[in-house]
């Protein structure tokens, strides 16, 4: 793999994960303030669903940004986005699913190819 491939993976990891944090950090702040209210699209309860969303939208993206356990970290992030696209927004127009799908496929690529050499995984 060339240096530009590794640089491309770095850009993908940082951009997708950084943008995902914009969605996850407000959820984390709500939980820190005691607000566990959330939808329950997979039937495990609102509190657990919100915690799983925070893992997929904050914890895993932070790991992906630094490139630590990147392939594994990309899986919950990807699942979170595909749940959003195919379950939460199942009846919505495609435009409402598009962002979740873009994130989901970005995390799928990261899960398949890994972090590249500019990562903690490769140090």
List pLDDT tens digits, range 4-51: 999 999 999 999 999 999 999 999 999 999 999 999 999 999 999 999
Mean pLDDT of the chain: 96
Within 10 angstroms of residue 123's Cβ, the number of other Cβ atoms is: 8
Q: Is 84 exposed, middle or buried (0-12, 13-18, 19+ CB in 10 A)?
A: buried
Longest dimension (CA), the chain: 47
Domain boundaries, the chain: 3-113
Q: Compute the distance between CA of residue 20 and CA of residue 9 in angstroms, rounded to an integer.
A: 16
* The predicted structure's pLDDT at residue 123: 73
The fraction of the chain above a pLDDT of 70, given in percent, is 100
């Amino acid at each position: 793999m060339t240096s530009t491939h590794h640089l491309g993976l770095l850009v993908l990891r940082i951009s997708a994960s950084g943008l995902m944090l914009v969605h996850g950090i407000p959820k984390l702040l709500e939980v820190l303030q005691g607000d566990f209210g959330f939808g329950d699209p997979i039937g495990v309860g609102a509190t657990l669903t919100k915690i799983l969303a925070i893992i997929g939208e904050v914890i895993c993206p932070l790991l992906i940004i630094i490139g630590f356990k990147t392939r594994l970290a990309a899986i919950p992030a990807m699942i979170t986005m595909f749940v959003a696209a195919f379950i939460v927004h199942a009846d919505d127009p495609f435009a409402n699913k598009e962002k979740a799908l873009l994130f989901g496929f970005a995390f799928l690529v990261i899960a398949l190819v890994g972090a590249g050499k500019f990562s903690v995984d490769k140090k």
